[in-house]
Structure 1
Amino acid sequence: MLKQAEEGRLLKKLAAAVGGKYDLQANHGEVGAWRNSLPVLLELLCVAGLSHVEVLLEHRLPYSPKRVDALLCGRHPDSGEVSYVLVELKQWSSAEAVGNGLVKAAGVRNLQLPPVAQVRRYCQHLLDFTPSLARRAEPVRAIAYLHNALFRDINDLYNYESHGLVQLYAADQREGLIAHLRSLLDPDPDSRADAQQAADDLLAAERAPARTLLKTAADSFEQRDDFVLLDEQQVAFNLVMDAVLLAERAGDRWTSEGKTVIIVCGGPGSGKSALAMTLLTKLARHGKRILHATGSKAFTETLWERVARGDQRISKMFGYFNTISGRKNELDVLVCDESHRIRGGHPERRALPEYERRQINSLIDAAKVPVFLLDEHQVVRPDERGTPGNIKAAAEERGYEVQLVDLEGQFRCGGTKLFDEWVVRLLGLSDERPIGWSDLVASTRDEYVVHAAPDANSLEQWLLQRSSMFGGSARISAGYCWDWNPPERLDGKLVLAADIDINGWHRPWNTPPGDSVPDAPPASLWASDPRGFGQVGCVYTAQGFEYDWSGVIFGEDLVIRDGAWRAQQDKTKDPKLKKPTSTRFFDRLVRNIYKVLLTRGMQGVCLHSRDPETNEFLQHFAR
């Protein structure tokens, strides 16, 4: 392998295995790291007399997008048992602690986790999702090797605890590193066959949440207030539990022919997430292998923050659709929340061919009981294919039973279905014509508040007044009809660019994904962090969340002309929606976008359009 690295053949193999598009001549980024670090590690193994150990490069952790730089597989020299060593390689020449468990490395733009903390989490993740290893954690150890740094230049990094799993080494500690590796991996060349077997066993090992992780998660979930499931929510819960019980009774006799796919449809706030959390709590408590996945970065990161509450182990119970792949039926239950975000292929084909159902099929395959929670009126991107029809067709084509449940309640918007009805009628998503809000709720005791503002400033003032008088959170969201520029420096301070300009009312979008700006929350926490009020969110940061008072600004991508809605694709700034597609398909997507934005508020909503004719229409029906 060292010869392949020196000749450049290893880079081609790695690029093909990882599946990305790489410039193999680059000397930066991931290719640069491979080029500069892997020969150092492989040469070190040769010097240590460990050239016979099996080396898994860029080993992807189970149910995670994260990859370990190198995973060494061999036999322990003392016990004779399998031994695995995770290796994190860094090209840093120096680094210093900056507080809060973060470090600043020379030549690296963003703050980083200490290398020992990073690779220790990889160790824990491997143990948490490989039950055969979790039963005997001793064979798993890790090292972080800063091969371009001297001890004196990274002295701060040695203050971070490794909990016995991880050791940190600098370039001038090479002899100590060699001795450490020889204490973990048998240097006897006759152990080559055992090393190969250790690698094969790891690659073939069952991947699922270990019982230790399930117990930790269940204990945490049950400390939260219990959700009370009502009507169809309880029906859906019972269907899942019955399907799990049938699979459990079948035991080793269970086959995929007995699989039940459960699809739960419901509008905003209908209780889909309450159902998901209840399933996680109950099934984890009973040791069932269960995971929660979504296609929304903001939604998943908020679950990490608000449900896992910063506990890194519990956060692993919440992942993404694209990390759920591999061998079939390794999970007992997979809860696919926000399933309308499932990706597919060409957006306008009526029938989805097999290759375009790849993500749907991988999610169905992953568990004995796959559960899909969705609202098809929240499909807002051309490549989103998570509809009940598509999921049902994919399941039935393979002979699986399908159970479909509609959650009829609408709990978010004031606990009433009337507002949801008003929205779908307003946007032309219903066969019934729009109706004034006061007319719709006449003779009812509905207390939900609907208002339309003459200008953007009035909308903002209305939200401030409502949240001040009645309490609760407030947010402003808008159609993606303004440029979204990176943060800029103003008087030496990094600030959000005030891209949105409506007749002199200037506000920024929320923080761009991946960026960090002082005094502003990250994009994924815009809806839940109190500092989010100063920015305007779009559908990608608002979808899946709620706040008490919602302000919605219509852009020129959807306007009223002669009393009817007209979608204007040339007005959108959303790169996902600017791609060529039919006017009819864009029209459906943009109406869904505004339905999502309009249904985020739990106590009330205020509307405004920058287009005068559209704003007159909104004011008429919001009365």
Structure 2
Amino acid sequence: MNYLYYNNTKSFLEEYNKDFPDALANKYRELFHVSPGLYLYNSWKGSIAYLYNLITALNSKGIVLEYIIPAGGERADAIFVGNTVSPSLMIIEMKGWRTMEIVDDYSVIADNKKEVNPSYQVLNYSGKIKYSIEGIENFNINSMVILYNILNHNKSMDGIYSGNERELIIKELKKNLDPGFDPHSLTTFVNARYRQNINLFEAVRKYHLDIKNGAMKALASEGYGLYSEQLEPYLEIINNLLTGTPGNYIIHGGPGSGKSLIALNLLLRSSAMGKQSVLSYRNNRMVASLRKLLDSISTGMSTLIKYYSTGRPGNPGVAEDKFPVHYDIAIFDESQRMTVKNIKNAGKVADISVFFYDDSQILGTREQGTQSNFLKYLENPHEITLKGLYRNGNEYGEFVNKLLKGESTIYPEPYDLQYFPDIKCLINTLKTKIDLGKKSALVASFTEAKGNIHDINSQDNIRIGDRIPSGLNLYSGTGIAVRWLMDPKKEYAPFWVGGESNKLEKCASVYGAQGFEADYTGVIWGRDLVRRDNKWVLGDNCEDFEIKKLFFKGKNGDKTSYDTAIELLVNRYRILLTRGIYGTYIFCEDSETGEYLKRQCHMEMDLNDRSNSMDVQ
């Protein structure tokens, strides 16, 4: 369910009474498992009462209250559905502020507090709905802001109405919603599935000039604007760059929360401002891919991407001793992989240092980028948390977390999650998505084949095939051969940026998947983390060099090593399971674990029945 209430306005008028906010609160508890705060509850009382007075002057229309914007979690206060030449939406943002002064296109001072400009906010909602909702391409979409407690209207505020402009608001609503109402359009809208229009790399390539010029409104109208929680740190950091205010920012966010999107926005905007800027990683696959991306935009831009750790004293990374440059802004993505020494150096290498991290994605015991270490070793750190999971939705993110904790969970429709008992069926299903123009990729747990970077044709690089180095006899006779991606400089950029992942001839381990995304991913779940006696345990094979010693010690009775190995493996599977924007398809090499995954995902129906029952995106 992606709304708290929907019906036609005639029914709303009949149902509305003083207890209506209580009914919304009950829906809120049902959906989010927490009670709405007093501020939100009181805002419903004011905003819905105002909407009621508008509706009495309208003919029958559709109405949706507290509509959850796709993949984000922000909610549009009200959406009216009508029909002009085609089905029409009017998205309404209701604000109960008593005072508001516009600062710029993105910020206002409301009731003496800095807030996101509601005109940008509602424009962003419009773009997200237009480009992220399946099946409403022919809808006419408009928006407005109503400041229902403010009576003096500033005529320079386009699309923003004050509370005493009821007649103007009604006129605008009728213009965009009359003459009729088709109930089918309402149900089409509220039941439509989420789809992401383009992935991160494609968006940056397409909109890089807008990003560099700070034209965020253009991005928002095209469905790729920043949500409020993403926009606020971006604007604060850019403003501090302009004013020369130093600081350290630590920004936490889960998989797909927009960390890399904000990082690239900061990099392109700050460099266009003439500031000494750098975006750095430890991940050599990501460095190679981003360098290729930026050079495709403009020759020489790849110099903005650097390693923060090289391990080579003669050629140190940005966060290592004796790095020779001091920046205006240094941005560190995936900084959970930093050591304490990296953190200390990174906090001093720039006037403004920005750390994006997710400590649930720590991959090894040498990685120390945790909240406690950032707070301990950085001077005056500013903490920010990104709560949304925008790549594949909050519901799917919560599902993955519960699955990996071993908790009972519910299959997160409409996200396309499928379990396949047969690898050929999984690959053939990915091929149907590729035929529809979608980007697909195979990712796999680091088991069965250890890899050989020095010889790409080595038998050690065969992850799926008749002869696997570990001796696992699972794929014999399938005719399928899939090799590890190995060369960071030559293979990863073509795979993730150039679209070669669609060949389904190679797969990425967690090291080559972290930070990347595809429309659909096929996950090969290995024998390293398996389900036994209702808990996760270490299995029969692990080739991951970061875990192998822990794996060996843990299997021989060292409880600390055992627990650490389980924790790190869970982190790996969290990454692998959250690379897919639209869908994740799972094949498991351990049959008992596979049965558990099938039960947890509530995938008991026949695969053919399931495929036929799902709309093709």
**Shorter-chain TM-score range:** 0.5 to 0.7
Change in 2 beyond 3 A, CA 1:500/1:369:
same
Question: Of 385, 394, 398, which aligns to 1:421?
Answer: 398
1:481 aligns with 2:481: no
**Structure whose CA Rg is larger:** 1
Instruction: Give the Å deviation of 1:367.
Output: 0.7
8 Å contact kept, 2:285–2:489: no
Paired position in structure 2 for 1:557: 528
Alignment correspondent of 1:503: 475
CA drift of 1:481 comes to 0.5
Which residue matches 1:382? 365
Kindly indicate whether the alpha-carbon contact (under 8 Å) linking 1:218 and 1:284 is maintained by their aligned counterparts in 2: no
Using the alignment, how far apart are the partners of 1:495 and 1:228 within structure 2? 46
Shift of 1:548: 0.5
- Going from structure 1 to structure 2, the CA distance change for 1:461 and 1:312 (only over 3 Å counts) comes to same
1:182-205 deviation digits (Å, cap 9, x = unpaired)? xxxxxxxxxxxxxxxxxxxxxxxx
For residues 526 and 381 of structure 1, the distance between their equivalents in structure 2, rounded to whole angstroms, comes to: 25
The alpha carbon displacement at 1:447 in A equals 2.5
Aligned partner letter, 1:598: L
Match of 1:236 among 230, 233, 236: 233
Equivalence map 1:539-558=2 (5 Å) = 539-558=510-529
How far off its partner does 1:579 sit?
A: 2.5
**Does the C-alpha gap of structure 1 residues 421 and 597 become closer, same or farther in structure 2, counting only changes over 3 Å?**
same
Q: Please tell me the residue identity of whatever aligns with 1:336.
A: F
CA distance in 2, matches of 1:421, 1:300: 29
2:426 matches 1:459 = yes
State how far apart, in whole Å, the 1-side matches of 2:545 and 2:417 are: 31
Give the whole-Å Cα distance in 2 for the aligned partners of 1:489 and 1:404: 45
Which of 355, 361, 368 is residue 351 of structure 2 equivalent to?
368
Q: 1:407-446 to 2 correspondence within 5 Å?
A: 407-413=386-392, 416-428=393-405, 433-437=407-411, 441=412, 446=413
What SS does the aligned partner of 2:382 have? strand
Question: C-alpha displacement at 1:300, in angstroms?
Answer: 1.3
Matches of 1:422 and 1:514, distance apart in 2: 32
Equivalent residues in 2 for 1:205-604, closer than 5 Å = 222=212, 226=219, 228-247=225-244, 259-309=246-296, 311-322=298-309, 323-324=317-318, 325=320, 326=322, 330-342=326-338, 344=339, 357-395=340-378, 400-413=379-392, 416-428=393-405, 433-437=407-411, 441=412, 446-468=413-435, 470-486=436-452, 497-501=461-465, 502-504=474-476, 505=478, 506-513=480-487, 522-532=491-501, 533-568=504-539, 571-580=541-550, 582-604=561-583
Following superposition, the deviation at residue 454 of structure 1 comes to 0.7
Cα shift at 1:529: 3.1
Residues in 2 aligned to 1:488 and 1:404: alpha-carbon distance in whole angstroms? 42
Change (3 A) 1:579 1:524: farther
Q: Distance in 2 between matches of 1:559 and 1:426?
A: 12
CA contact (8 A) 1:262 1:403 kept: yes
* 2-structure distance, mates of 1:410, 1:509: 31
Residues 328 and 498 of structure 1, relative CA distance in 2, 3 Å threshold? closer
Question: How far apart, in 2, do the equivalents of 1:460 and 1:496 lie?
Answer: 22
Please state how far the C-alpha of 1:282 moved relative to its aligned partner. Answer: 2.3
Closer/same/farther in 2, CA of residues 489 and 510 from structure 1, 3 Å limit: closer
Specify every segment of 5 or more residues in structure 1 that has no aligned partner in the other structure, as ranges.
Answer: 1-216, 249-258, 345-356, 517-521
Quote how far apart the aligned CAs of 1:523 are. 3.4
> Structure 1, residues 247-278: CA drift from partner, whole Å, max 9, x if none?
35xxxxxxxxxx52101111222111221122
> 1:396-434: CA deviations, max 9, x gaps?
xxxx21111111111111xx20000000000118xxx23
| Unaligned runs of at least 5 residues, structure 2 | 1-206, 310-316, 466-473, 554-560, 604-617
The 3-state SS of whatever aligns with 1:594 is helix
Structure 2 CA distance for aligned equivalents of residues 276 and 495 of structure 1: 39
Counterpart secondary structure, 2:548: coil
Q: Shift of the alpha carbon at 1:609? A: 1.0
The equivalent of 1:147 in structure 2 is none
Structure 1 residue 231 displacement after superposition: 1.1
Contact 1:453 1:459 in 2 (8 A): yes
> Is the partner of 2:524 in helix, strand or coil?
strand
- 1:131 is aligned to none
The CA RMSD measured in Å over matched residues stands at 2.9
503 and 538 in structure 1: CA distance in 2 versus 1, 3 angstrom threshold? same
TM-score normalized with structure 1 length: 0.53
In the TM superposition, what whole-angstrom CA distance separates every residue of 1:144-183 from its partner, at most 9, and x where no partner exists? xxxxxxxxxxxxxxxxxxxxxxxxxxxxxxxxxxxxxxxx
Deviation, structure 1 residue 557: 0.6
Following superposition, the deviation at residue 219 of structure 1 comes to: 6.3
Identity of aligned residues (%): 25
Q: Quote the offset at 1:511 in angstroms.
A: 3.4
Counterpart AA for 2:439: S
Contact 1:267 1:407 in 2 (8 A): yes
Q: Secondary structure at the match of 2:385?
A: strand
